[in-house]
Structure 1
């Protein structure tokens, strides 16, 4: 009773007492709620192929081994997300792997969100490194490179019989992207580069939604500044994506307020394209985990059960966005279990995985309850 009271109290502070009560009740019997129609229930699995190449295996909750993407689909997920780097040191997260993941997703009956980083490595608010091959290009040629890279990847997917419904132009671009040319202090150039990517999407896959994506999903000021500038400079985007990690980005009430404001202000579909939560504080590869707090959010200890509760709580926020504009939720790197050789740094084969305690598969390779929860939204 004390645990459920704590969960209800934490949820009430963020999404209201009714939502918290529904969340607790929905899982009292260990079953996810029936899937809603039209809501994107997704997982970023960008690291899957590298993990598989280094020996990772995946099992259903009952221990039966299977293909990870099939397990996701069986659990009720309807979309995967995969990032694209330009020329990474390890050769992963390129057009080759995105096409393979796209084929497998389509075969399993799922859609694909393509996440363009426009870098050779991780792109986020703190770093947006220009691809080495694009160094020294004039700004006009840089726009051409963005267009051609985007069109090339999407064209390869189209040729493979895969037409992604969602395409993300840039990753966590709070301070712009492809620095320094598209940095926050070069707003017109930033808009020009974003437009080049969006134009490529429109030309190759006219039916796909073009998403612009920021981190810090509870930071309304950052989103308003960015999207006001995007609108003022004529960037032809269709939807807005947000990252929201509660241990970094604040309370769910902040996310709810920001999403509600975005829906009213811009009238665009909204997606939380990244979130996660730990199912344990333990480590399985000897490489320190990013999140080790035994209770990152008050009332939500790091456990499989509360990982499930977190999925429900954030989904309730997205689904409550006005005018039905809250369209979906993606778990970040759901299949990134710890395997030697498949670490975070593409330039360092000895690097480890600091995320395995936030995957949706446990240290015995079994699907966690949260996977079924996500698929049942």
Structure 2
């Protein structure tokens, strides 16, 4: 009897508690918040982006939006995302006008007004210059190395003076873009004549300094993980009397090898600083736009590594054309298909 009564009492108590709970307010599920924190870097560290396509994109009706979907001017948007520097390419006489001197100046003025530091990237071509293409401007096509050296210097001075007239003093200038085998081929091809390539670098360096002694001059080659390439290039330039203030690198890993290449890149950076007593900057990076989370991991890691270089000799990291969504088939941007920045760019956050 006691056992039956005991069971009855327990059942009654359960029923009372159950009915009581039905009338109470349910406990809300905990809100999921992001725990991501952007890397902390030196105050002078350049968190940059090359957005040279911006005026051409705008002319085609492309618009840019912040993460809430509010339309913004791209320069102001990049500033709000934590960027403090803008890189702009310069072509000599492009057939469509984009990235010529007038377009360069217009973008540089916007960058300055947004409170950004500015890097000018001279391609010394009418079109793209990169490891596989270093085509002379059409107007320079018949020139020998002596004429090319003089003309390169004159052109560089003219662009620098035009910028100066418009109130722009670049913080950095690249004399050539991804010059893995020199520039202004064939005369300036490094594997055929390092002396010729060095002469072009010396001319560009002197031209920049003649207008602005404070502007730092960069020599830029790609594959920042390739120490053999970098030693060959900068040993050769040094042996031929060339000068530079900063060594510039590109780094474009895949979603599967970025960790390995980042580690190799840091090893190479430290070797460059030790071997040539000059600082290093990564002036181009990018990763698959469809892998935003992986891209953020990659960027967080490479920014942290560059910032870790001793004595402040890792100067910064620049993302190449992050805003180029749905544009000319480019797939290494960092905006989504609706024109908003992805979480990849959180790595540049304040």
Same fold (TM over 0.5): yes
Match of 2:201, SS?
helix
Counterpart in 2 of 1:157?
A: 163
RMSD of equivalent CA atoms: 1.6
CA contact 1:279–1:306 (8 Å) conserved in 2: no
For residue 271 of structure 1, the aligned residue among 281, 285, 300 is 281
After superposition, give the CA deviation of every residue in 1:164-206 in whole Å (9 maximum; x if it has no partner).
Answer: 1000000011101000111021111111111111111000111
Alignment partner of 1:360 is 2:334: yes
Match of 2:324, SS?
coil
CA contact 2:145–2:188 (8 Å) conserved in 1: no
In 2, Cα distance between equivalents of 1:36 and 1:199:
30
In 1, Cα distance between equivalents of 2:39 and 2:253:
23
Question: Which one has a bigger Cα radius of gyration?
Answer: 2
Match of 1:173, SS?
coil
Q: Which runs of 5 or more residues in structure 1 are unaligned?
A: 1-26, 281-301, 340-352
After superposition, residues 212-361 of structure 1 pair within 5 angstroms as: 212-247=219-254, 251-280=261-290, 302=291, 304-339=292-327, 353-355=328-330, 357-361=331-335
For residue 141 of structure 1, the aligned residue among 147, 150, 159 is 147
Counterpart in 1 of 2:43?
A: 37
For residue 61 of structure 1, the aligned residue among 63, 67, 75 is 67
After superposition, give the CA deviation of every residue in 1:215-263 in whole Å (9 maximum; x if it has no partner).
Answer: 0111101101111111111112111000011139962221111111101
Alignment partner of 1:177 is 2:151: no
In 1, Cα distance between equivalents of 2:170 and 2:60:
27
After superposition, give the CA deviation of every residue in 1:48-83 in whole Å (9 maximum; x if it has no partner).
Answer: 110111111000011100100100011111110011
CA displacement at 1:115 relative to structure 2:
0.3
Q: Which runs of 5 or more residues in structure 2 are unaligned?
A: 1-32
**Cα distance change on mapping 1:33 and 1:325 into 2, 3 Å:** closer
After superposition, give the CA deviation of every residue in 1:243-291 in whole Å (9 maximum; x if it has no partner).
Answer: 01113996222111111110110111110000111231xxxxxxxxxxx
**How many residue pairs get matched?**
314
After superposition, residues 202-213 of structure 1 pair within 5 angstroms as: 202-213=209-220
- Bigger relative contact order, structure 1 or 2 (CA pairs below 8 A, ≥6 apart): 1
Runs of 4+ in 1 over 3 A off after TM superposition: 33-36
CA contact 1:128–1:178 (8 Å) conserved in 2: yes
In 2, Cα distance between equivalents of 1:198 and 1:373:
33
Counterpart in 2 of 1:346?
A: none
CA contact 1:72–1:371 (8 Å) conserved in 2: no
In 2, Cα distance between equivalents of 1:267 and 1:86:
32
For residue 81 of structure 1, the aligned residue among 80, 83, 87 is 87
CA displacement at 1:34 relative to structure 2:
4.8
CA contact 2:41–2:307 (8 Å) conserved in 1: no
For residue 70 of structure 1, the aligned residue among 65, 76, 79 is 76
CA displacement at 1:134 relative to structure 2:
0.2
CA displacement at 1:373 relative to structure 2:
2.2
Match of 2:217, SS?
strand
**Cα distance change on mapping 1:371 and 1:311 into 2, 3 Å:** same
Counterpart in 2 of 1:294?
A: none
CA contact 1:263–1:322 (8 Å) conserved in 2: no
In 2, Cα distance between equivalents of 1:369 and 1:192:
43
